[in-house]
Amino acid sequence: MYRKISAIVIPTLIAVGIIAYMLYQTWDTLIQALHHIVPAWLAIAVAICIIAWILRGWRYRTIISSLGYPIRLAVSTACIFVSQTANLIIPARLGDFVRVFILKHEHSTTYSEGVSSIVVERVFDIFTVAILGAIAIPFILNVPPWVYAFTILPIVVGAAFFVFLFCTGKCTTENKYIRVVLTMLHEIRKASLSVRSLAVLSASSIVIWVFDILVCVAVVLMLGQSVPFPVVVLAIVIGNLVKAVPLTPGGMGTYELALAGVFFSLGGIPWEMAFLIGFIDHLIKNLVTLAGGIVSIYYFGDWVIPSIKAAFNSKIGGDASDR
Query: Regarding predicted confidence, which is higher, 311 or 242?
Result: 242
Number of Cβ atoms within 10 Å of the Cβ of 299: 15
Does residue 187 fall inside a structural domain?
yes
Least Cα distance to 44 among 286, 193, 211 occurs for: 211
Contact 7, 241 (CB under 8 A): no
Does residue 23 fall inside a structural domain?
no
Structural domains counted in the chain: 1
Does residue 6 fall inside a structural domain?
no
95's CB contacts (< 8 A; 6+ apart) are 83, 84, 85, 86, 87, 88, 89
Does residue 71 fall inside a structural domain?
yes
Measured CA to CA, the distance from residue 47 to residue 322 in angstroms comes to: 40
Does residue 167 fall inside a structural domain?
yes
Torsion of CA 43, 46, 50, 53, to 10 degrees: 160
Contact 95, 86 (CB under 8 A): yes
Measured CA to CA, the distance from residue 293 to residue 130 in angstroms comes to: 27
Measured CA to CA, the distance from residue 84 to residue 80 in angstroms comes to: 6
Does residue 171 fall inside a structural domain?
yes
Measured CA distances, 304 to 58, 225, 321 (Å): 21, 42, 24
Query: Regarding predicted confidence, which is higher, 1 or 229?
Result: 229
Q: What is the pLDDT of residues 53-82, one digit of tens each?
A: 999 999 999 999 999 999 999 999 999 999
Does residue 238 fall inside a structural domain?
yes
318's CB contacts (< 8 A; 6+ apart) are 110, 111, 112
Does residue 211 fall inside a structural domain?
yes
pLDDT-derived band of residue 26, with 50, 70 and 90 as boundaries?
low
pTM: 0.88
Query: Can you give the pLDDT at residue 297?
Result: 87
pLDDT-derived band of residue 94, with 50, 70 and 90 as boundaries?
confident
Q: Which domain holds residue 112?
A: 31-309
Measured CA distances, 122 to 36, 104, 225, 278 (Å): 37, 20, 32, 22
Output DSSP code: residue 309: H
Least Cα distance to 48 among 200, 203, 198, 221 occurs for: 221
Q: What is the pLDDT of residues 248-278, one digit of tens each?
A: 778 888 899 999 999 999 999 998 889 889 9
Could you tell me what percent of the chain has a pLDDT over 90? 54
SS (H, E, C) 128-156: HHHHHHHHHHHHCCCCCHHHHHHHHHHHH
pLDDT-derived band of residue 14, with 50, 70 and 90 as boundaries?
low
Contact 282, 308 (CB under 8 A): no
In terms of phi and psi (left: phi > 0; alpha: psi -120 to 50; beta: otherwise), the region of 269 is beta
Query: Can you give the pLDDT at residue 15?
Result: 57
CA angle 261, 267, 273 (to 5 degrees): 65
